[in-house]
Amino acid sequence: MDSALLLTLLLPVAVVSHVVNLPSKVLFKVGDRRELTCSILSCPETVKFVWTPLEDRPIFATVKPQDKESMLVFDSVMKNHENTILCKATCGKETKQAKTTIKVYSFPTNPVISGHDRLKLGEEATLTCEVSSIHPSEFLEVEWLYGDKVVYSDEGEPDRDAFSFSYTFTPSSEDDGKAITCRVSLNVDGIPSEEMTRETSVHMNVLSAPHNVKVSGVTAVPLGSSLNLTCEAEGKPKPAFTWTALKPDGQSVEMGKHQVLFVQDVSLSDAAPPMETLIVASPQTTLKEGDSVSIFCKSTGVPVTHVVLSRRVNGVDAELKSSKGAETSHTIPSVKLADSGTFVCEAFNEYGSQRTTLNLTVEAHLLEVALQPDTEDVLEKGSNLVLSCQASGCPQPEFSWKNLANNPILRQIKTDGFQSQLIFDLVELEDEGTYLCEVTCGSIMKSKQTNLKVFSFPTSPVVKNSGPSLVGEMMKLTCTVQEVFPANLFQILWMDGDRKMHSETGSFSSGTINLTSEYSYRVNTEDQDKRITCKVLLEMPAAQAVKTASTALSVHYPPRATRITVSPLMELKEGESMSISCLFDSFPVGRMVLSRVMDGVQTELMTSDGLETVFTIPSVKLDDTGIYICETSNMYGSQNDSVEITVKAPPRNTTVDIFPSTDVQEGQNITICCRSVSFPPPAVVLSKLDSEKNVYSLDGVFLLINLTPNDTGLYQINVTNDLGYETETFTINVIEKRVNPPLGWNDFLSLAICLGVASALLGVVVYVWRARKKGSYDLTKCNPSTV
């Protein structure tokens, strides 16, 4: 049990590492001797100590090492001992460190007050409180106390050693003998409270020249009696008294040096004419016009019977006031410049009189007038304006407003002290003009003026156009801007984008007018939807305004650029597909009719209400050959375009007719008619298959004459054009007739060629080329009866 407890107590001791003992901060007083100890008490052996300054200055101290501690000794603390110092202690293999901050203060003496002992009554004086050897000086605070009341306070500033704090005041007689204190505090944490604040108190000594001198005592006494006169006066140091008699002959004779003058056996020669006659202006002799002033006329010293206060005008005194007794006064409630001049106070008694003069100066005020807005202002009709007139340098200015055209001012005027305002609630054109603010201050009058200009530009312009126009015609555009003024400063610009097309300036008018500009514009197809802008500009010297409006043009025109196109080609083979498209441009959009003309007959294929249409034939036939016309139209006109389309086909439906028959007697003639459908027209070739002889025909008719049995055989007709051919075969049989000799192939050929002429003569219609119209080449009507 015991051993277990011991173990728990010892165990922490064994693991705890060494502790460096060093205070983290210390405060030293300048001049003291101080020590700073760093130690590791738990180290079983000798500790090695190293002191390092952490601030950029040496430590300035002596090190006293011992076994387990090291001591820094500061013999006499100085300001430069302020530092942060690291103490590194090594105990065996373990090194530990701690740091301390040293702060130093200095506040050794009480403040010293000077300037308090020779204060003069009524004269501004400065007391000085000085302190020195202060550190840290930024924590210094100073207060001047008059009795218990703080009358002044100030603070120190860094890095200064000595301070001098002043207190300026004008001593009065009550200040005499009163205590004034200068209290200085150094507000640094850690300074003992009794050293933190030091103060010095002194008593003020207020000196004054003799004043409030009064003579008392009975001054009218019977001849031969005695009298006591007492002189009283204040002053510090105590005033000395001297009695002087001013004799009527101008001599002055000293009568005594005590406060009380005792005159025994008074004689006539002791009587005196008025003395100490005073004239005083209150509050002062130099005044500004309109000030109030009182002039006091008073005689002291000896009894007087009456006093007269006069004004000297052209060297002659004009009485203002007179009164029995020793004093009188005259008050001027509002002085004028003309009140400047000399005032005379004259006191009388039976022994004579005394006069004194006073020069009163009345000055004019330095009146200044300012008007806002200055010189000129441009305003919009309906806006608000306050003309504000300020007077300075005059206690009671009088304002008046004038219109230079001498028109009555019907607007509200608000005057308040040094400012008068002319208020325009809703500015009208009639408010234009020059306004004058006139300020009167006593005899001075000054004025300022400003010129008001009014414009009216309340709304944006309105643009109208005469409606849709046909290309090439004139479109009339009208731009109106209402209620403008002054019209001659307005400009109307017609703009096409940034391009100026036309401009017009308003002409002079006395009131607001509606300004209109007309612009005629020749319209073009490109102008469709174009925006034309009417820009209205007001250009006054101090105001610019722009308002705009625009309109979009609507241009009408008849169909144009009508174009018909065929795809893929204008020459086609039967069975191919074909598209015919027609497009055009017109406004408003018109109507389009597509038709085909063949044989002079026009067939309408389709109509459409658009600018483009496509007509498709998926498989063309010979019949589709023809002239295709696209005719476009709207209310303003029509246009057309055409294209010729040719359809080709190889020969087909070929038939061969033989007249009179395929079996003939020798010597007889045979006509062969061949019919075929094709385009372009075919060439027809007749050949006898067992010979190599061929006969061509363009018209498809062959005439075989004077046949012989040798002509018997198989014949072939070959109908050919660019696109192909078709053949037909047939047999001719010639029965022999033993009378005439047979003809050769050459005879047959020549005869056949002759047939073209012969058939015409015979009126045999061998073919009708209706193909131009019908798209086929048809050989028909080999009329058997005529052959």
Ligand X SMILES: *[C@@H]1O[C@H](CO)[C@@H](O)[C@H](O)[C@H]1NC(C)=O
Q: Which residues bind ligand X (CB under 6 A)?
A: 226-228, 262, 342, 359, 482, 512-514, 629, 631, 640, 653, 668-669, 677, 705, 708, 710, 718, 720, 725, 727, 741-742, 744, 758
Closest to ligand X by CB, 611 or 670:
670
Quickly list DSSP for 347-365: EEETTEEEEEEEEEEEE--
Query: In angstroms, what is the minimal distance from the CB of 786 to ligand X?
Result: 13
How are the residues of the chain apportioned to helix, strand and coil, as percentages rounded to the nearest 5? 10, 55, 35
CA distances, 273 to each of 129, 160, 220, 310 (Å): 54, 68, 13, 20
Other CB atoms within 10 Å distance of the CB of residue 394: 23
Six token digits for residue 58: 């040496």
Query: In angstroms, what is the minimal distance from the CB of 705 to ligand X?
Result: 4
Query: In angstroms, what is the minimal distance from the CB of 708 to ligand X?
Result: 5
Give all strands (DSSP E) within 289-351, no chain letters: 293-300, 306-313, 316-324, 327-332, 341-349
Other CB atoms within 10 Å distance of the CB of residue 219: 13
Query: In angstroms, what is the minimal distance from the CB of 403 to ligand X?
Result: 26
The residue sitting closest to ligand X, measured at its beta carbon, is 742
Six token digits for residue 728: 């037909």
Count, residues in the chain = 787
Quickly list DSSP for 101-122: EEEEEB--S--EEES-SSEETT
Closest to ligand X by CB, 567 or 691:
691
Query: In angstroms, what is the minimal distance from the CB of 408 to ligand X?
Result: 26
Closest to ligand X by CB, 436 or 605:
605
Residue linked to tokens 């050293």: 195
Closest to ligand X by CB, 438 or 728:
728
Query: In angstroms, what is the minimal distance from the CB of 717 to ligand X?
Result: 9
Query: In angstroms, what is the minimal distance from the CB of 776 to ligand X?
Result: 6
DSSP letter, residue 371:
E
Strands 83-91, 48-53: pairing is antiparallel
Residues 312, 320: Cα–Cα separation, whole Å = 10
Q: In terms of Cα–Cα distance, which of 675, 664, 718, 660 is closest to 694? A: 718
643: which strand partners? 628
447 Cβ contact list (under 8 Å, min separation 6): 369, 436, 437, 438, 439
Query: In angstroms, what is the minimal distance from the CB of 493 to ligand X?
Result: 21
Closest to ligand X by CB, 514 or 786:
514
510 Cβ contact list (under 8 Å, min separation 6): none
Closest to ligand X by CB, 753 or 765:
753
Query: CB–CB of 357/289 below 8 Å?
Result: no
Query: In angstroms, what is the minimal distance from the CB of 514 to ligand X?
Result: 4
Q: What are phi and psi of 630, to 5 degrees?
A: -110, 120
Closest to ligand X by CB, 372 or 602:
602
Closest to ligand X by CB, 450 or 632:
632
Query: In angstroms, what is the minimal distance from the CB of 409 to ligand X?
Result: 27
Closest to ligand X by CB, 173 or 706:
706
Torsional sign, CA 280, 284, 286, 287: negative
Query: In angstroms, what is the minimal distance from the CB of 405 to ligand X?
Result: 24
Query: In angstroms, what is the minimal distance from the CB of 740 to ligand X?
Result: 9
Strands 206-216, 252-256: pairing is unpaired
Six token digits for residue 371: 């008007």
Closest to ligand X by CB, 12 or 315:
315
Please work out, in degrees rounded to the nearest 5, the angle formed at the alpha carbon of residue 358 by the alpha carbons of 355 and 363: 160
Residues 404, 371: Cα–Cα separation, whole Å = 15
Query: In angstroms, what is the minimal distance from the CB of 204 to ligand X?
Result: 37
Closest to ligand X by CB, 105 or 628:
628
Strands 25-29, 94-105: pairing is parallel
Closest to ligand X by CB, 114 or 219:
219
Query: CB–CB of 78/30 below 8 Å?
Result: yes
| Burial grade of 248 (CB within 10 A; 0-12, 13-18, 19 or more) | exposed
Query: In angstroms, what is the minimal distance from the CB of 754 to ligand X?
Result: 7
Q: Report CA dihedral (662, 665, 669, 674) to the nearest 10 degrees.
A: 0
End-to-end Cα, the chain, rounded Å? 165
The identity of residue 451, as a single letter, is N
Query: In angstroms, what is the minimal distance from the CB of 277 to ligand X?
Result: 14
Query: In angstroms, what is the minimal distance from the CB of 724 to ligand X?
Result: 9
Closest to ligand X by CB, 339 or 496:
339
Other CB atoms within 10 Å distance of the CB of residue 196: 17
Residues 681, 769: Cα–Cα separation, whole Å = 9
Six token digits for residue 517: 């500009």
Q: In terms of Cα–Cα distance, which of 131, 77, 75, 142 is closest to 108? A: 131
Query: CB–CB of 207/239 below 8 Å?
Result: no
Closest to ligand X by CB, 203 or 737:
737
Query: In angstroms, what is the minimal distance from the CB of 653 to ligand X?
Result: 3
Q: In terms of Cα–Cα distance, which of 400, 402, 371, 412 is closest to 388? A: 371
Other CB atoms within 10 Å distance of the CB of residue 16: 9
Closest to ligand X by CB, 224 or 467:
224
87: which strand partners? 51, 98
Query: In angstroms, what is the minimal distance from the CB of 178 to ligand X?
Result: 36
Closest to ligand X by CB, 153 or 507:
507
Closest to ligand X by CB, 543 or 758:
758
Six token digits for residue 171: 């001593």
Closest to ligand X by CB, 699 or 711:
711
